[in-house]
Structures are given as structure tokens and as C-alpha cells.
Amino acid sequence: MKKHPIIHELTNINKDNSIQKWARSYYTDPFDIDDLVQDTNLTVLRHFEKFVVNENPKGWIRKIMHTTFLNRFKKEVKDRSFIKSDEVLYNLDIENSGMGTPYEDLRVKEIHAHIEKLPQKIKQPIQMVSKGYQYQEVSETLEVPLNTVRTRIHKGRLDLEKSIE
């Protein structure tokens, strides 16, 4: 049985590590490189039937890798900016650092007191994120969709801002 041309090419570039070399042009961290290679391989395998036979297979695979990288990069930037805009949550762990001024310590205690007053389903994601959990981890732990976690944290942040003013 003859392999589809794109599957054959994907096998070859994985054998000679070309795909790893391509991924290194996007990332320096070995784990990110491996993730990008794996995501690219999965995407190629998922969509191999869309490959036009007379097209350049390496170019097609590189285009998929580039698009995969851009999508991941946009998502990371979006997630980072969402967390950074969440100033109330961003600074919650000051009391554990031992580096806060007395005013900051008082402010953090006030924030924690307001968090305790929030409904449980809003309070729990806020507390988990303030302990360092990623939104995806909170979503999996609480068994709710990722957007639900984001919504609850956003609502909690708005409630905290209102109650602290």
C-alpha cells in the first residue's frame, strides 16, 4: 500500500530532524520546540487530505508549523495580558514574600477579607490563580470550561474592585 505523499514527507522530515530544526527558528526552549513539532505533526495528520498533490510538501508542512506557532503565540500573549490586567490577583501573594510594607500588608489582608466574602464558585478560582495555578489547571481541577474560569475570575475581580473602593 502506497503512503500519501504528505505522510511520506512528514516521516522523512521527522527522521532527519528537519522539523526540529525548523521549530528551533521559533523557540529556544526544548520543551516548546517539542510541543511545536508535535502540534505540527498532529495538524498535518488531521488535515493531510487537504494537501494538493502537486504542491511542495515541505513548504506545506512549514506553513502549518508557522501558523501553529502564530496561533500559540497569540494565545500566550492574550493569556499574559489578561493575567497582567488582573492587578488585584497579580499582587495577592505579597504577604507570603515578607517584602511588603506595613501598608501593603494591611492592603493584602483587606483584599483577602473581601475575597472570603465572595460566593464559593467565584472565590475558588481566584484563590487557585493567586496560588499560582494556570487558568487551564483551574478549569481541569474544577471541571468547568476554561471560559467559565475566566468569567468567574473577571466577575470576582470586578466585585473586589467595587468592594475595595
CA nearest 5: which of 37, 64, 49? Answer: 49
Same domain for 73 and 104, yes or no, is no
Give SS3 for 22: helix
What cell numbers appear for 33 in the block?
A: 520546540
**pLDDT tens, 59-76?**
888 898 899 999 888 887
Count of structural domains, the chain: 2
Q: Containing domain of residue 104, as a range?
A: 86-164
d(CA 63, CA 61): 5
To which residue does cell 517584602 refer? 99
Same domain for 22 and 63, yes or no, is yes
Residue 94 reports pLDDT greater than 50: no
Q: What pLDDT shows up at residue 102?
A: 63
- Considering 44, 61, 83, which residue would you say is the last residue of a domain? 83
